Amino acid sequence: MATMYDFNVKDRKGGQVSLKDYEGKVVLVVNTATGCGFTPHYEPLEAMYRELRDKGFEILDFPCNQFANQAPGSEDEIHEFCTMKFGTEFPQFGKIDVNGDSADPLFAWLATEKPFEGFGKGLKNAALEKYAATNNKKFGDKAYIKWNFTKFLIDREGNVVSRFEPTVDMKEVEDKVKAIL
C-alpha cells in the first residue's frame, strides 16, 4: 500500500525532494493560487504552521494554475507574493498540475485515497460546484481536485486521513490537525 513517502516532488528551483523527508510528521498538503477568492487561507495556514510546527506539523504548498488561471506567475513571483503578503514560512514547491494527464502523481494518489464529496451546502458552495464542474470538464475522469486550496491531511505514517475542500472552515481543519498531532 502506497504512502506519501513513496512520492518525489519538485522544489521551487526544480530540484527533486523525497517526501520521505517528512516521515513521522503530520502533514497538510495544499494546492494553492495567488489570485483566488480562497487565497486568504494563507493567513490561517501560516498561523497554524507557526503554532504547531514544533509539535511535528508541516504544510506543503503546491501552486497550481489549472483553476481559472489564478496562479499565473513564476515560482519566484508566487513565493515572493506569499512571503510578502502573508509571511509564509512553510515549504512551497514548484508549480504543478493537479488534474488531467499531466497531474502530479502525488495529487492523483491523494485524490484517489480521499475522493471529492462535494463543496457542502449553501448558495456559495453550489455556485462554486457549478463553476468548478465547468472548469474541470476538460479533465474528464482525471479531474482529481475541484478547486484551489483543497487540503489533504496526512498522518505520521504517511496515510491520507482527511480531505478538506476550500469551502471547509479553517477552524475545522485546525481542529483535525490538532487531533492527530
Question: pLDDT value at position 1?
Answer: 83
Q: Any idea which residue has 506543503 for its cell? A: 60
How is the chain split into domains, by residue range?
25-180
Q: What is the pTM of this model?
A: 0.96
Are 9 and 106 within 8 A, CB to CB?
yes
Half-sphere exposure of residue 174: CA atoms within 13 angstroms, side-chain side = 15
Instruction: Give the helix ranges, DSSP H, for 15-141.
Output: 42-52, 75-86, 105-113, 123-136
In three-state secondary structure terms, 104 is: coil
Positive or negative: CA dihedral 110, 111, 113, 119: positive
Would you name the residues annotated as active-site residues?
36
Q: What is the mean pLDDT of the chain?
A: 95
The domain 25-180: what is its CATH number?
3.40.30.10
Q: What is the pLDDT of residues 71-80, one digit of tens each?
A: 999 999 999 9
